[in-house]
């Protein structure tokens, strides 16, 4: 997206923005139920502002404090609950339409996983607890209205105590990983987006479920994993098969180890491993990463 220019005999390209803008937004219904999101927002703008680098002229620059304040102003304007994807698109669209010199914008959001608590079997009206995995998104919008929208998951920790490839010295083996997932939607324009409210929030939950269900398998018996690589491929394949508006999936699955404990010591306790006592360790660990996309995808 960055436009390369020739400046004083050199190739030059630039961008500027604001990172780690934290915002929380609460919505309250007439029935007394509250909803909250907490987002960490990053903004990158591409603009025609070479003069700000060559001369004492920042007139074409969008001030980074203006970017920060715009996050709060736009959050205030959102009277209805919306997804992180919708807010990212809203911000990016604002910058490319409101500022003449801005040709493109990238907005990244990481959503903190506040989850409604249940008390005495009932969802609490305004009580929330912090979950684990995070919802991420990135919207790239150009002045022409073209769009590239990516969503993802960070920190989805999953573990199976069996049904994993066996080593020579043990009958079975545990498998654990922390899933980082990215998926790119097939929508290429601001004008082709689904109009259903909270569409992308629902899609995030559905993709997360498909990834987890593929990893674990059925409740009784589970599913055998010959390797982390095979499990990764099946997770990515299941996502593309289930969601026709997703064009590309990237998964990273570090192999977090649980090492069987065997201790034979004449002067101390003896521990004979019987598929029961392990030493958990996450450093060093294997790192497995791959992507899967449709044949027609431009990626």
**151-298 shares the fold of 10-145:** yes
**Band of residue 168 on the pLDDT scale cut at 50, 70, 90:** low
Q: Is the pLDDT of residue 170 over 70?
A: no
pLDDT of amino acid 57: 79
- Portion of the chain with pLDDT greater than 70, in percent: 97
Contact call for residues 82 and 132 (beta carbons, < 8 A): no
Token pair for residue 196? Answer: 């259903």
Is 18 among the catalytic positions?
yes
Homologous superfamily of the 151-298 domain (CATH): Urate Oxidase; (3.10.270.10)
257 in active site: yes
Binding site residue list: 64-65, 173, 228-229, 255
Alpha carbons 181 and 253: distance in angstroms, whole number: 9
pLDDT in tens, 66-80: 999 999 999 999 999
* Region 4-16 average pLDDT: 86
The full set of domain ranges for the chain reads 10-145, 151-298
Q: Measure the CA–CA gap between 21 and 72, rounded to whole angstroms.
A: 9
- Lowest-confidence region among 11-15, 118-122, 193-197: 11-15
Strand partners for 280: 258
Catalytic residue among 64, 103, 161, 162: 64
pLDDT band at 111 (very low <50, low <70, confident <90, very high): very high
Which of 292, 31, 276 has its CA nearest to residue 181? 292
The arithmetic mean of pLDDT across residues 139-163, rounded, is 96
Q: Which helix (H) or strand (E) holds 252?
A: strand 246-260
Q: What's the whole-number mean pLDDT along residues 172-178?
A: 87
Q: Taking 70 as the threshold, does the pLDDT of residue 166 lie above it?
A: no
Scan for tokens 């990983």, then name that residue. Answer: 177
* Confidence tier at 296 by pLDDT (50, 70, 90): confident
Q: Is 64 a catalytic residue?
A: yes
Mean pLDDT of 187-208: 96
Residues of the binding site for urate: 64-65, 173, 228-229, 255
pLDDT of 144 higher than 70: yes
| Fold that domain 10-145 belongs to in CATH | Urate Oxidase (3.10.270)
* pLDDT for 107: 98
Which is nearest to 27 in space by CA: 96, 116, 104, 95? 116
Residues 3 and 57: beta-carbon distance below 8 Å? no
Q: What is the pTM of this model?
A: 0.91
Q: What integer best gives the mean pLDDT of the chain?
A: 93
99 neighbors 62 (Cβ within 8 angstroms)? yes
């Amino acid at each position: 997206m960055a436009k390369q220019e020739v400046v004083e005999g050199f190739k030059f390209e630039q961008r500027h923005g604001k990172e780690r803008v934290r915002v929380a937004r609460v919505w309250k219904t007439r029935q007394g139920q509250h909803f909250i999101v907490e987002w960490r927002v990053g903004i990158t703008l591409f603009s025609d502002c070479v003069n700000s680098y060559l001369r004492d002229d920042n007139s074409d620059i969008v001030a980074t404090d203006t970017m920060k304040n715009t996050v709060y102003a736009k959050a205030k304007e959102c009277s209805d609950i919306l997804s992180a994807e919708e807010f990212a698109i809203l911000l990016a669209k604002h910058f490319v339409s409101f500022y003449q010199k801005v040709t493109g914008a990238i907005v990244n959001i990481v959503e903190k996983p506040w989850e409604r608590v249940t008390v005495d079997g009932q969802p609490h009206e305004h009580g929330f607890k912090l979950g684990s995995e995070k919802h991420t998104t990135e919207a790239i919008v150009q002045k022409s209205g073209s769009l590239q929208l990516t969503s993802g998951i960070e920190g989805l920790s999953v573990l199976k105590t069996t049904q994993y490839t066996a080593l020579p010295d043990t009958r079975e083996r545990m498998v654990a990983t922390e899933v980082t997932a990215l998926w790119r939607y097939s929508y290429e324009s601001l004008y082709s987006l689904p109009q259903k409210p909270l569409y992308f929030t629902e899609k995030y939950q559905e993709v997360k479920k498909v990834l987890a269900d593929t990893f674990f398998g059925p409740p009784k018996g589970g599913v055998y994993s010959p390797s982390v690589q095979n499990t990764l491929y099946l997770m990515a394949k299941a996502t593309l098969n289930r969601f026709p508006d997703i064009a590309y999936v990237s998964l990273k699955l570090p192999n977090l180890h649980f090492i069987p404990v065997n201790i034979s010591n004449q002067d101390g306790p003896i521990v004979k491993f019987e598929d029961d006592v392990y030493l958990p360790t996450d450093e060093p660990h294997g790192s497995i990463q791959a992507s899967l996309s449709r044949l027609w995808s431009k990626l």
